[in-house]
Amino acid sequence: GALVYQYPRRTICKSGTSMRMECQAVGFQATSVAWYRQSPQKTFELIALSTVNSAIKYEQNFTQEKFPISHPNLSFSSMTVLNAYLEDRGLYLCGARTGGAETLYFGSGTRLTVL
Amino acid sequence: GEQVEQRPPHLSVREGDSAVIICTYTDPNSYYFFWYKQEPGAGLQLLMKVFSSTEINEGQGFTVLLNKKDKQLSLNLTAAHPGDSAVYFCAVSGGGNYKYVFGAGTRLKVIA
């Protein structure tokens, strides 16, 4: 079946530093990857949608300068949180889908704590 | 843009009782609907995906109803058990843009 793995599961970084998280699709081709953030006590906000061989589309309030994303092939994507601060803490999920399918399969997320 | 309201935010039921969670969306062109379950410390587990052409969808221990006229999507857990305790999220997609809009979540507690 379609599986999505995210690394690391949890991470702690100091305020002002950066951290990188990865997303691996297994069993299907991740044509598109959507990165979401769930801030404490909130729902999921879309950060950006990445499609292989296309430009990455960032949502309002999220920028490439802050959340650079790499999607080099059909099984892997990574996102970096640059200059992380308290408001960046939360659970970061990647959801991947294949071709024209509508369903996103989500990983277990990377939980970011900023000290 | 699409807005999704989910209620109730918290729900506590006894084991064996039913639990109903409702999402109301605004975009009449929404075409794909999803229910996800999030257990403590975990990501999202897909419970069911629903297409706009199907009004009644049955899963294992639950039913999902889509009322397009009222733009409502509901999750009905029948005979809830403690393992159902989790946060449930609905998500709505208009298709084409592949953007999911999530509800705020419902924290369900099933008391044994």
Q: Are A106 and A25 in contact (CB under 8 A)?
A: no
* pLDDT tens column, A17-26: 999 999 999 9
Looking at the complex, does the CB of residue B49 fall below 8 Å from at least one CB of chain A?
yes
Looking at the complex, does the CB of residue B89 fall below 8 Å from at least one CB of chain A?
yes
* pLDDT tens column, B25-40: 998 888 889 999 999 8
What does the pLDDT read at residue B58?
Answer: 80
pLDDT over 70 at B98, yes or no:
no
* pLDDT tens column, A91-105: 999 999 887 777 888
Question: Cβ separation of A104 and B100 shorter than 8 Å?
Answer: yes
Distance (Å, whole) CA A77 – CA A75: 7
Sequence-distant (6+) residues with CB within 8 A of A70 are A77, A78, A79
Question: Cβ separation of B44 and A91 shorter than 8 Å?
Answer: no
Question: Cβ separation of B105 and A43 shorter than 8 Å?
Answer: yes
What does the pLDDT read at residue B52?
Answer: 73
Question: Cβ separation of B95 and A102 shorter than 8 Å?
Answer: yes
Mean pLDDT of all residues in B1-19:
94
Sign of the CA dihedral running A26, A27, A29, A30: negative
What does the pLDDT read at residue B97?
Answer: 59
* pLDDT tens column, A26-83: 999 999 999 999 988 788 899 999 998 888 999 999 999 999 999 999 999 999 999 9
Nearest by CB to residue B49, choosing from A32, A103, A111, is A103
